[in-house]
Amino acid sequence: MNHSHPRYERTLVIIKPDGVQRSLIGEVIRRYERSGLKLAAMKMLIPTPDMVETHYTLDPEWKLKTGEKNLKAYRDKGLKPPHDDPIAQSNMILAKLKKYMASGPVVAMVWQGAHAVAIVRKLTGGTEPLMSDVGTIRGDYVLDSYKMADDDLRAIRNIVHASGSVKEAEDEIGYWFKKDEILSYRLLVDQMLYDTDLENFIE
Ligand code: ADP
Ligand code: MG
């Protein structure tokens, strides 16, 4: 089997504690599932603050990228950010994220399929629910903003985590799942999604 085909791309999704508390587990899964992506692994757990820190710092660039994205979001709205230094901003975010993500059960999942990382990010929506597109999970089910979260000294509540790149996905999946917890199997719909030959349907 050619595992370099795009159909084998995988991404990590975590339904965060607010998604679980707001009874959105089924809704979130439904949205990814109906896209044609395949659920390859799933587990429920309560993460420790240390696990949350490790998860977000697997990518050494995360602090810089997240800090810069956050400062830009403030400036685009004509607002003054709490810090000018992106790393200082991310350190503050990380401390709050540890409290948020460790506050209760989460559902961790691996989704597989063509362009899994980008498709899941598209269905998930942008980080700040105030600006995430209508029709996305974060755009439809939650109403938080950077400013409100920062003023209230807490993390943005945005229902789900989704890996931001293929590399991030590989690292995060390796962190949250053992190899034998991730299942490889064929779904009947795979034929319609990926097979090059569709000549066997007419009787
Ligand atoms: P994403 O989850 O969209 O990949 P990031 O990786 O930039 O976003 O940030 C991780 C998480 O940290 C976000 O989903 C959100 O819960 C939280 N977060 C990001 N920026 C802030 C902020 N300025 N204030 C509070 N929480 C934040
Ligand atoms: Mg991210």
* Protein residue closest via CA to atom 1 of ligand 1: 127
Q: Which ligand is nearest to the CA of 70?
A: 1
Q: Is the pLDDT of residue 83 over 90?
A: no
Q: Tell me how far apart the alpha carbons of residues 84 and 138 are, in angstroms, rounded to a whole number.
A: 27
Closest CA to 89 of 149, 160, 163: 149
Atom of ligand 1 nearest to the CA of 154: 25
Centre of ligand 1 from the C-alpha of residue 155, in Å: 7
SS3 (DSSP) at 81 = coil
Query: Strand runs (DSSP E) across the chain, as ranges?
Result: 10-15, 38-45, 106-112, 160-162
Centre of ligand 1 from the C-alpha of residue 51, in Å: 16
Q: Is the pLDDT of residue 112 over 80?
A: yes
What is the 3-class SS of 170-189, one letter each residue? HHHHHHHCCHHHCCCCCCCC
Place of tokens 């269905």: 123
Q: Is the pLDDT of residue 144 over 70?
A: yes
How much is the pTM?
0.95
97 pocket-lining for ligand 1 (C-beta < 6 Å): yes
Domains of the chain, CATH where assigned: 6-177 (3.30.70.141)
Burial of 182 (0-12, 13-18, 19+ CB in 10 A): middle
* Per-chain residues with Cβ under 5 A from ion ligand 2: 164
28 pocket-lining for ligand 1 (C-beta < 6 Å): no
pLDDT digits 0-9 by tens, 22-67:
999 999 999 999 999 999 999 999 999 999 999 999 999 999 999 9
Can you read off the two tokens belonging to residue 110? 């691996």
Is residue 161 annotated as part of the catalytic site, yes or no? yes
* Protein residue closest via CA to atom 14 of ligand 1: 127
* Protein residue closest via CA to atom 8 of ligand 1: 127
Q: State residue 1's pLDDT score.
A: 57
